[in-house]
Amino acid sequence: MTMERASTEQPAPRAGRGTVVSALVGAILGGLLWLAWQPTTQECNGIGECLGRPIGALILTVLALVLTLLALRLLRVRPVFVTTVLGFAGGAALIVTLVTVLNVRGGVHDELAPWWTWVLIGAVAGALAHWINQPGRSWPGRVVPIVVVIGLVFAGFTWADSERAAQRLARFEAVGVEQVVLPEVPGYHLSSAWASQRAEGSVDVITLNYYADEGVAQSVTGLLIPLEDRDPCELALVAESLTDRECVGGPDAMQLRWSGVDGQVFYVGAGQVVGGTLVVLTTDPETFDAAELHAAIDAATPSSLEELRDL
């Protein structure tokens, strides 16, 4: 009876040891992966260096996965494969979520979370991956940790998407466009919109980018500029910074032209004041002429900043 009792009590210490070992391996792995990915956030020169860093980080990540499998087997942690896969998947999902949330919150792109968060997440993911795979573990004990991780990932990305949308809308609102209208360019579709500045930062605008529905035709650029009692022609000409710029016509039918030092016309455009908003379209002279661009502005449909935000 004594020997049977001892044999039934043996798996618990082994399970506890395996959980601790998995946590330590996960913590070390998290720190090493942070070191592997940290160079991808630094400034780089040239395509080779800029592409080489993430490719190198991916290779090191795969190598780390293989070394983890080997380490758990040498340390007699069972099961090896399932623990490694679940630990990697859960830890990677949590790290990517954390990085995304911090980037959106701080307004910084391609910035890694602090190294200690990678170590902590690696330890927790490794420990949980081993713990839920032990013999005799109940279904709730196996499922609940996985559901919690999935819930944290879903909540993090949902918050990040909502915050990005709010920040994007705030940037549009800061431009101060009184009336939002979207020109309808034949054969083209509005693919993107963003708030920007022209004339060396002195003019806030909303830029609209149109791409051809078919073929490789020149793109068309639109601008929505708050008029604010300023001269429409001066505002319209901030679209491009070329040597020779010309604007003729009144607020209802402006014709625009941008040329280089040799007199070659690079862009033509049309402008029109709609309400308190100056609407400008520019493109290559071989794509549309000013009259066709005016027709596109005349066909403009009322819109909203929320619609631009969701592009």
| Higher pLDDT among residues 2 and 186, named by residue | 186
Res. 141: pLDDT tops 60: yes
Does the pLDDT value for residue 139 go beyond 80? yes
Backbone angles phi, psi at 145, to 5 degrees: -60, -40
Query: Does residue 4 have a pLDDT over 70?
Result: no
Can you read off the two tokens belonging to residue 74? 């040498």
DSSP string, 58-117: HHHHHHHHHHHHHHHHHTT-SSSHHHHHHHHHHHHHHHHHHHHHHHHHHT-SS-PPPHHH
Q: Are 296 and 246 in contact (CB under 8 A)?
A: no
- Which is more confident, 44 or 208? 208
Average pLDDT estimate for 231-243: 76
Mean pLDDT of 125-134: 93
Count of Cβ atoms closer than 10 Å to residue 171 Cβ: 16
Indicate the pLDDT class of residue 243, thresholds 50, 70 and 90.
Answer: low
pLDDT tens digits, residue range 143-176? 999 999 999 999 999 999 999 999 999 999 999 9
Mean pLDDT of 79-108: 91
- Residue 60 in this model has a pLDDT that exceeds 90: yes
Confidence label for 10 from pLDDT (cuts 50, 70 and 90): very low
Whether residue 42 has pLDDT greater than 90: no
CA 218 to chain centre: 26
How far is the CA of 308 from the CAs of 39, 41, 171, 190, 282, in angstroms?
35, 30, 11, 10, 19
* pLDDT band at 45; cut points 50, 70, 90: confident
Longest dimension (CA), the chain: 104
pLDDT at residue 29 above 90? yes
Q: What is the pTM of this model?
A: 0.78
Distance of CA 252 to the CA centre of its chain: 39
pLDDT at 242: 60
Query: Mean pLDDT over residues 112-131, rounded?
Result: 95
The residue to which tokens 């049309």 are assigned: 270
| pLDDT, position 301 | 87
Average pLDDT in the chain: 87
* 224 C-beta neighbours (distance < 10 Å), count: 27
